[in-house]
Amino acid sequence: MNSSVLIFDLWGDLGHFKKPYTTTSPLSFAFPPRPTMAGIISALIGLGKQEYAEFFKIKDANIGIGIINPVKKIRISQNLIHTKKAIQFSRIRRGTRGARTRIRFEYVKDPKYRVYFQHSDQNILKQVKTRLENHESVYSVSLGLSELLANFEYIGEFGCAENSSTSPIMINSIIPSNKMNDFTIETGKEYFTENMPVEMDKQRVVTLFGSFIYERNGNPIQAMITTKYHRAENGDTFLFI
């Protein structure tokens, strides 16, 4: 993989990254799973959702995520169309019995993330960099749902070195549980874990799950890392998920 990394910030008013085991009351992950992040990057360069999984396999693309804004969640009740009972959508009127159903959705409020990206295909990397520099995208960038539009800011392309350490180090990104032995619980910090999809195939079937640790307010985590970690020239220390 190349020795530099593209870094950009991503944010919006609301985000919803649906946990697959929730149905009637959809809950959200605190941050985008790797397949969702691959879809967001693909929207920049115009890869369709039926094809981008092929270009963003773990062996080809490195994606890291850091939390900038504190993770806050809210729940909003929404009226949805009951697709089994509402046969003729165009004739649904207010008060139509059984045509609508009310669901409480969980959202991440005011999310903001820092994204670290590498790709083995220099053509894809160049396209992503150009889109970020020009603040443009082929498809609308959203945070989990199409109506939750997102904004982004290019931070830069920085040299990126692989390092290893036998002592605890401060990590600015989300940490995969399988890449660390332990972490230090520091006063004033809030630690959480998420179990989420890591990779999907072209049929959008999850082929790999992973467990991740994050600090809710976006503070760095002091951890004993068992694999190589990455340090960019801007000072960020991170792991790919």
The predicted-structure confidence for 43-52, as pLDDT tens digits, reads as follows: 999 988 778 8
The CA-atom distances, in angstroms, between 193 and each of 3, 20, 90, 129, 180 are: 30, 16, 44, 31, 13
Q: Select 4-238's CATH number: 3.30.70.2660, 3.40.50.300, 1.20.140.10, 3.40.50.1860.
A: 3.30.70.2660
H/E stretch holding 132: helix 122-134
The tens-digit pLDDT sequence of the chain (241 residues) is: 568 999 999 999 999 999 988 777 899 999 999 999 999 999 999 988 778 888 999 999 999 999 999 999 999 988 777 666 555 555 555 555 556 677 889 999 999 999 999 999 999 999 999 999 999 999 999 999 999 999 999 999 999 999 999 999 999 999 999 999 999 999 999 999 999 999 988 888 888 999 999 999 999 999 999 999 999 999 999 999 9
Q: Residue type for 214, please? A: Y
What's the sign of the alpha-carbon dihedral 2, 228, 6, 62? positive
Distance CA 77, CA 102 (A): 6
DSSP letter (8 states) at residue 52:
H
Q: Residue type for 144, please? A: G
Query: Any idea where the domains of the chain sit in the sequence?
Result: 4-238
The first and second tokens of residue 12, run together, are 């919006």
For residue 70, count other CB atoms closer than 10 A to its CB.
15
With a CB cutoff of 8 Å and minimum separation 6, the contacts of 5 are 62, 116, 117, 118, 157, 158, 160, 230, 232
The CA-atom distances, in angstroms, between 52 and each of 117, 123, 143, 217 are: 15, 14, 17, 31
H/E stretch holding 54: helix 52-55
Contact, 65 vs 196, CB < 8 A? no
With a CB cutoff of 8 Å and minimum separation 6, the contacts of 158 are 4, 5, 7, 232, 233, 234
Distance CA 76, CA 80 (A): 12
H/E stretch holding 44: helix 34-45
What's the sign of the alpha-carbon dihedral 209, 214, 217, 218? negative
Distance CA 94, CA 99 (A): 9
Its pTM stands at 0.91
pLDDT reported for residue 238: 97
CA nearest neighbour of 50 among 203, 158, 176: 203
